């Protein structure tokens, strides 16, 4: 997974230009790879500036070139926004409808796999997109990612079993990981560092709009014509996005591509891509996740299978480290880079753990029970907070160049939000108190933009694409950890407390086991049972969700402590290793 120092020069050779020389966004930012390079003392090739064009061109010509370059950047990024919008809508739709989908197959206790399978596929392919886009071009990999996402949505829409639906989520996840990472790589290719956060805020705004609409839209479609159309309906806009990307994204250009030598180099590069490592990594994550999903639910925590899976994960970790490298080792030389990965990871685990439980909380506790549309709409404060946080973060960073204080502020807000949920969400939650998820979303929006910049400050340009892919990978992995961990905590407490309550109501062990099985398999079970059992089930769900909010709070506080150790650095000048 990591790349040794000896591969650095070959790594540099793989950075081929995205845009032609006429599309360079600014004269002082050498994102385009067609500029000259020189060797530095540490053996790494670095870009060097060409002759100052403003001295050889008139002021009007220079301004005209800059304006044209800016419009070119706007056009390139804009055509990808449709794909970002649909991908984020998909995630919110799934968060709002996972209980409905799983209940149709009598598998509510396994509903988290609809999300985990998506994330697992993304984790297995995340780092590959950065490497492959360096070799074969951003445009080609963007189109491949969109196509896989579209095919996955179609499979989910027509799936007739839980296994088929999960398969569709796997295919979609393998495409969505590229859709998310490559747009950020494109932004770093095209823009000066101070402008990156603001443009990412614009992309985040579109993503947030998708997440905001996805919950109520998915719930509405589920109520009216069925949840399947929530996924089949994504196929036409993604098809349009593929057409737009084919027409407007720049082709991968290089004069070397015209030679036989370049073709041999391309084959050599392809042979070094860590496909084996990607599959080992997926197996590693699966071995870590299965104990969280099975323990306390399908098998006791003391069952030998739990220890076998944990042992297998340790072996797979060793094999993964020994596999053919894909990430440069230099990425991990900086303490700030490691801290950025960890802070974003803990915050992602906290936020996804929360988002998974919010629709379920309102479906269980509200009287009368809300429709899927209303339950999904309760996610909107969090996603709106994410949008507001991203815009504020981008604006502040562009104006002041400061990001550390933003990260600390974001983690503090999130921690307060999760604490309020623990203190106040005990059923019959009114409108104002339903807004307590806003601080968590706000903190996530601020942190994602600020931490992206903190990573870029300390990473060399030649390693930027794999570093960005790895940051998205960390979000995916920590999301996969956070979601099943929160679900496992909730399920364990739910089963234990419901069993205690039912025994106190006079039910025998067989009846208790049957009621628990029905309660965790279908959310509609609450409507068809007698009042005393319904009250026991509802209160047990509340207990379980309280502990899952506690998990989110612990993750957010950990991220806050780590944020204190980040170092504030200057954003001006060329990005290189500290």
Nearest-angstrom CA–CA distance, 170 and 554: 30
Nearest-angstrom CA–CA distance, 81 and 546: 37
pLDDT on residue 408? 94
500 CB neighbour count, 10 Å cutoff? 13
364 CB neighbour count, 10 Å cutoff? 24
pLDDT on residue 439? 92
HSE-CB for 152 with a 13 A CA cutoff = 25
Nearest-angstrom CA–CA distance, 566 and 563: 5
- 265: part of which helix (H) or strand (E)? helix 260-271
* Residue in 323, 363, 80 with CA at minimum distance from that of residue 202: 80
pLDDT on residue 270? 54
Is the domain 63-253+269-273+326-494+547-563 a CATH 1.20.1250.20 member? yes
pLDDT on residue 412? 95
Is residue 408 classed as helix, strand or coil in its secondary structure? helix
Q: In three state form, how does the secondary structure of 387-438 look?
A: HHHHHHHHHHHHHHCCCHHHHHHHHHHHHHHHHHHHHHCCCCCCCCHHHHHH
> Are 245 and 143 contacting, i.e. CB atoms less than 8 angstroms apart?
yes
Peptide bond into 41 cis (omega under 30): no
- 275: part of which helix (H) or strand (E)? helix 275-294
Alpha-carbon distances, residue 572 vs 110, 193, 279, 443 (angstroms): 49, 8, 39, 26
> Are 148 and 175 contacting, i.e. CB atoms less than 8 angstroms apart?
yes
pLDDT on residue 273? 58
Nearest-angstrom CA–CA distance, 283 and 320: 10
pLDDT on residue 572? 61
pLDDT on residue 183? 78
pLDDT on residue 334? 84
Beta strand pairing call for 37-39 and 45-47: antiparallel
Nearest-angstrom CA–CA distance, 185 and 223: 38
> Are 229 and 157 contacting, i.e. CB atoms less than 8 angstroms apart?
yes
Nearest-angstrom CA–CA distance, 453 and 401: 9
Per-10-residue mean pLDDT, the chain, length 578: 43 39 37 40 43 47 50 73 83 79 79 79 74 78 90 90 90 85 75 68 73 73 82 90 83 44 49 63 73 66 82 80 61 86 91 83 81 73 83 83 90 94 88 88 88 83 73 76 84 91 89 86 79 90 93 94 90 48
What predicted TM-score, i.e. pTM, was given to this entire model?
0.63
The tokens describing 63, both together, are: 């301004």
CA angle (289, 352, 525) in 5-degree steps: 80
pLDDT on residue 295? 65
pLDDT on residue 342? 92
Q: Which residue has the tokens 């209980």?
A: 99
């Amino acid at each position: 997974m990591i790349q040794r120092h000896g591969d650095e020069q070959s790594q540099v050779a793989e950075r081929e230009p995205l845009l032609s020389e006429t599309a360079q966004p600014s004269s002082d930012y050498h994102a385009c790879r067609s500029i000259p390079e020189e060797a530095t003392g540490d053996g790494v090739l670095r870009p060097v500036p060409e002759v100052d064009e403003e001295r050889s061109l008139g002021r009007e010509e220079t301004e005209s070139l800059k304006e044209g370059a800016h419009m070119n950047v706007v056009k390139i990024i804009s055509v990808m926004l449709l794909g970002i919008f649909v991908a984020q809508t998909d995630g919110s739709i799934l968060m709002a409808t996972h209980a409905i989908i799983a209940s149709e197959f009598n598998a509510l206790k396994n509903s988290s796999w609809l999300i985990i399978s998506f994330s697992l596929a993304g984790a297995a392919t995340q780092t590959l997109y950065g490497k492959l886009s360096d070799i074969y071009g951003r445009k080609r990999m963007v189109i491949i990612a969109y196509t896989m996402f579209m095919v996955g949505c179609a499979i989910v829409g027509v799936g007739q079993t839980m296994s088929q639906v999960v398969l569709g989520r796997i295919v979609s996840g393998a495409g969505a990981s590229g859709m998310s990472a490559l747009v950020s790589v494109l932004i770093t290719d095209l823009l000066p560092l101070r402008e990156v956060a603001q443009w990412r805020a614009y992309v985040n705004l579109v993503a947030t709009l998708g997440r905001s609409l996805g919950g109520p839209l998915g719930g509405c479609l589920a109520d009216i014509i069925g949840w399947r159309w929530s996924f089949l309906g994504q196929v036409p806009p993604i098809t349009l996005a593929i057409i737009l990307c084919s027409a407007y994204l720049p082709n991968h250009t290089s004069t070397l591509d015209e030679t036989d030598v370049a073709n041999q180099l391309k084959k050599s590069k392809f042979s070094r891509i860590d496909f084996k490592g990607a599959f080992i990594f997926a197996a590693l994550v699966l071995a870590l996740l299965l104990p969280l999903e099975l323990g306390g639910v399908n098998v006791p925590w003391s069952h030998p299978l739990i220890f076998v899976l944990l042992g297998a994960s340790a072996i797979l970790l060793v094999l993964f480290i020994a596999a053919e490298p894909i990430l440069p080792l230099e990425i991990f030389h900086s303490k700030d880079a490691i801290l950025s990965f960890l802070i974003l990871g803990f915050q992602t685990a906290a936020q996804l753990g929360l988002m998974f439980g919010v629709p379920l909380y309102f479906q269980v506790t509200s009287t009368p029970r809300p429709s899927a549309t209303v339950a999904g709409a309760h996610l909107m404060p969090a996603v709106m907070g994410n949008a507001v946080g991203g815009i504020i973060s981008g604006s502040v960073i562009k104006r002041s160049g400061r990001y550390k204080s933003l990260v600390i502020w974001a983690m503090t807000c999130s921690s307060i939000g999760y604490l309020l949920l623990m203190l106040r969400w005990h059923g019959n939650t009114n409108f104002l108190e339903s807004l307590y998820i806003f601080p968590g979303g706000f903190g996530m929006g601020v942190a994602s933009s600020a931490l992206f910049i903190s990573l870029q400050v300390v990473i060399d340009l030649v390693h930027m694409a794999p570093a960005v892919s790895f940051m998205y990978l960390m979000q995916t992995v920590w999301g996969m950890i956070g979601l099943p961990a929160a679900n496992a905590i909730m399920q364990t407490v739910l089963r234990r407390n419901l069993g205690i309550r039912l025994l106190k109501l006079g039910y025998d062990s067989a009846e208790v086991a049957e009621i628990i099985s029905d309660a965790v398999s279908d959310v509609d079970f609450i409507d068809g049972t007698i009042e005393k059992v319904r009250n026991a089930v509802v209160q047990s769900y509340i207990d379980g969700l309280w502990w899952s909010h506690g998990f989110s709070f612990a993750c957010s506080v950990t991220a806050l402590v780590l944020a204190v150790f980040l170092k504030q650095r200057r954003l001006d000048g060329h990005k290189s290793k500290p």
